[in-house]
Structure 1
């Protein structure tokens, strides 16, 4: 009979003891490492992954308040941009006049006076008041006529209707507007002569009288020549209609030029180039519309284009060129 032995680990009596560390004797050709010395723990390098590492959000720091020197520098930069012309300082005006006071005179307070280089025309103010009264009278009494007058500039049928009516009220309003035109246009011609410094032996009010006489003679002579030419070529009806439209355009020119002449007379600056330019442009525009109206009238009456061209060149452009040559040269 066989006997069997069973081994059982005694967990009660057995004790766990640390193994005794014995110095290892290195064999020949081997490296001995002393494990009794502490080994520093180096950081374990992280493995590179395909995903990008998320950086923590940057902490926003409030900027430091500016120093006093920085504020002074910023104020200096802002003040350097405030220029008067090309300089940081205003140039002094040498317009003060010293007044010497004797012992017998009483000391008074004198304000600095600034002289205006432009001459003042008191008679022009009276002339503008008369023109204002004329316009106000026509505006109050014949307001409908003024509306039809402006409408006839752009509408030919309105012009024909006004030409056929010719009632008493229209004639009275037209007469006052004619006087307004000759006053205002003569004043504008006077201002042009002064502005362009035309060398004439007249000054001030005498120059205005010369301008008024020149304007009146020019328009009356022009209308007389038109009637003579129309009688000669047997076109009195067409000529009369064109002269009627010419009178309408001149009346409108007087009304439009009235504020321009007033602005030039009381312009606060010495250089009056801007209002003078506006007035010249308005006159040129009205004259251009009048020439177009003349072509429309004569073409509707089956007038020859060749004679039409000679007609307007002889009676419109040639007198203007001669007048320019007389005044300038």
Structure 2
């Protein structure tokens, strides 16, 4: 069976993906951050050169919520570009022709028409608060595409919508919107159902994908690698407003406090909904409904806090 190098194996997606790949019979290389620093070009080259690798799945990324991303734009850009470019160079150096790059739907221009189609990539400016992260993901995607053109490689990029699930970062300061709010509402319930403040009016919509479902898609992709386009969206096809998300959480957590709105807080773009024509053509769809995935995620959070 093929040997797969998974970067970011200790992250949320990686912890869902590695067991699935092992169950399918793949041989997995999943070095930790202590074993290999992806921002160190020499270290990556040495690791890849000393192992027989058939395909690389690049899950590693520096990620943060909207508040933290706003203040650490350069760090986010520098870390993600360094990791991606070092990995691409090492693959080219050592003759690895298959790479699956896990990008992000944040790469779409802030004024791109909805639903977001791959044809809109590169057609406008990135969303301000997450510009560093978005630009870094776009750069690595384009580097993959240019490597394909020049070196006849098969470097593919997938652009998932907002991921969540067990092993996420639930930090109130640096976590993404869904896990941070889930944690905050759990705390509010513990504090006699203290009020929860929603940023903005709550009408902004997001498309969420359970991390385990994206891991399933990656397994599907490795089995059908040649059928994948060079870049494609991966999503659930279901939009959830921020208000609806809070309501689902309240039901699962048993929270009965007041939901307030702070109209002065940033909310990001009002909608980010993906065109899933490539995903549909391939015949893959996610298995886990949003409410079920949210309940599983909350159960994981609650157990980690006990």
Verify same fold: TM over 0.5: no
* Rg larger for: 1
Higher helix share: 1
Taking structure 1 as the reference length, the TM-score comes to 0.27
Whose RCO is larger (CA < 8 A, sep 6+)? 2
Taking structure 2 as the reference length, the TM-score comes to 0.28
